[in-house]
A and B are shown apart, each in its own frame.
Chain A
Amino acid sequence: SQQGEEDPQALSIQEGENATMNCSYKTSINNLQWYRQNSGRGLVHLILIRSNEREKHSGRLRVTLDTSKKSSSLLITASRAADTASYFCATDNQAGTALIFGKGTTLSVSS
């Protein structure tokens, strides 16, 4: 079964607004990763947060991790139309040898 579950499934916002996506997972992890997928393309890595980290920033992206709640959030600030994509969280399997993905959040940013 899938390890991570994103919420919401779909999100529509206006340019300039912030977008927040959440991810919950089931078992302990080494790290949690977020990916973006533009329509018809492969996934692109955005950010990795280790289990001993609570927050990480990369440009307009902010990721938080709460291991006690087994949850993570991805915040995109000042959204742009180019941020329109699907976003996935992923955690390692129990052996730490493969990534298991959630079903993703589809973000639409309109101008």
Chain B
Amino acid sequence: NAGVTQTPKFQVLKTGQSMTLQCAQDMNHNSMYWYRQDPGMGLRLIYYSASEGTTDKGEVPNGYNVSRLNKREFSLRLESAAPSQTSVYFCASSTQTQGALAPLHFGNGTRLTVT
């Protein structure tokens, strides 16, 4: 099993450009998540999809949009990139058991630089 796969691994954008980060999981998980990680800030939740067909804002959603394409895929779009969006982006997936979240499975991240 591949687990959670993120593409691309690295990306450099100029301010104002747009791009979509792709994420796919092969574990039949219902829930998928996008986090960003900045030095000294830990992981902050951008958007999540608790189940296919739903998406919700997390802690830092401004400047981003998401699409839950199907149960496997959850993409993150930057419409007009800004230097403040330079970060490492992690996708994760999970399921729920007994009304609580099971452990998250993470991808290896996309390192994005906006100049």
Contacts and interface: CB of A to CB of B under 8 A. Distances in A.
Interface of A: 1-2, 30-31, 33, 35, 40-45, 48, 50, 88, 90, 92-93, 96-104
Contacts of A33: 101, 103-104
Contacts, number: 75
Contacts of A98: 31, 33, 45, 48, 50, 56, 58, 101
Contact of A97 (B4, B31, B40, B44): B31
Chain B binding surface SS class: strand
B2 interface: no
29 contacts: A1-B59, A2-B59, A30-B99, A30-B101, A31-B100, A31-B101, A35-B104, A40-B109, A43-B43, A43-B90, A43-B92, A43-B104, A50-B100, A88-B43, A90-B104, A92-B100, A93-B45, A96-B99, A96-B100, A97-B31, A97-B48, A97-B50, A97-B56, A98-B50, A98-B56, A101-B43, A101-B44, A102-B42, A103-B42
